[in-house]
A and B are shown apart, each in its own frame.
Chain A
Amino acid sequence: MAVGTVDVAATAWGRLRRIIGSPAGLRIFSFVLLLSVWSLATTADPSGQVLPAPWVVLDTLWYHLNEEGLLFHLGVTLWRVAAAFFGAMVIGVALGILMGARRRADIVLDGWHILFLNMPALVLIILCYVWFGLTEVAAIVAVALNKIPNVVVTVREGTRAVDRELLDVARVFRVDRRTTFLRFFLPQLYPYVMAAARGGIALIWKIVLVVELLGRSNGVGFKLHEFFQLFDIAAVLAYTLAFVVIMMVIEYGVMAPLERRFTRWR
């Protein structure tokens, strides 16, 4: 009898330990830990102005969602992120392949590449606004220009690592150029393109906010600037939260399934 009770307790404890120790359990634990530290930290600020509690932020989020057009500003920012992202990926992948495959092109473009790679984001933004005016196009070009050099680095590396032996197969069997490119060459680049895309989206949305802060009259960056001037920290955190949630949805809903599809054959 006593032995049986001990067994039940032991298995229940064991089960609990397994749940907490599982990856999902650890993620939940990590999240709860964040909330706890945050809540604890708010006690150091009795005014609630400098660091609002998690529930205050949620409440503010709800308010802005319903009354203050949060979705509109979020949508505008997302559109800019998407435009700059696709622009930067298309141009960056093309340049990366060119520079990886053609030595002459690499030598010619390398200096420019290093220049843009090391140009501070802020400088590019200021120059774009000064030269092209405070327009939507200038904003998106500024963001794309910041990202293109990073895409080039990754894709050029991938192009250099391409297996020439497989391309020789295409040559021997006289596969046409289009099929060679799409079916023999590009699949070898997918891991690199995916890596560039992942890093790209995270970098781009951060730069988009700066661009909006400096020269746009809508979008998350513009709103954050406004809240900063009003010292509305709860709203700043509410917008941040909303955007982070959206970026996580993109990561798990778009990027991860795409990557699984491209690497199915492994």
Chain B
Amino acid sequence: MSTQTHTNTARTGHLGEGTWWQGRSGLLVPLIMGAFSTYLLVGILTMEVAEDADKPGPQFFPMIIMIVGYALTILLTIAYIRNPEPVDVDDEQPAEAQEDRAFSTPVTSAVAASRLEPHEEDEPAADRRALAEAKAADAKHRTHSDFVSLAWGAGGFAAFALILEFAGWIIAAALLFWCVARSMGSKKPLFDLTVALTFSSLVYIAFAVMLGLNLPSGILGGGF
């Protein structure tokens, strides 16, 4: 919401850089809202309501939600088009500006009145420099969010969900563990695999054998 503090626009190799879309990827948010409102709209139109249903019927409340949902979609779209997100990387921000931003939310505005003036001491300079460096290093990346990591995590979970009942808990959970560990930047795939198998087996013993939860044993169980 506070774009004024950013003055510097150097950023290398950002996806969609220089196009109108730069800083407007936030339009995903109204897109989600709009899609969900449409889901509600279709549901309301196709709903089969009994003739004798009491007056504020089952469609009444979802209708309100849907209308508010569409209104928010429009407002959010306007907000994102008018105020693109700052995608630029800052040099060190002055401590005062940073604190001011921290104190500008409604929750914290209660505190703002009590701020010390003049500002005496905040985060040590080393910390802020480290933060700025981290931001700068990040800007060298191709994209803002690390979609490769994300794909490992989400893909791992999808694979886990799909093979769980066939392959059994121990194998599926170990796979999930391994994929997420990889998505977090682990560089030792073989060692990870042993950790993953140990972990999933321990969970199986603790929860399925001792606490009696229903976890599939899959191909490892009973088959041979």
- Does A pair with B? no
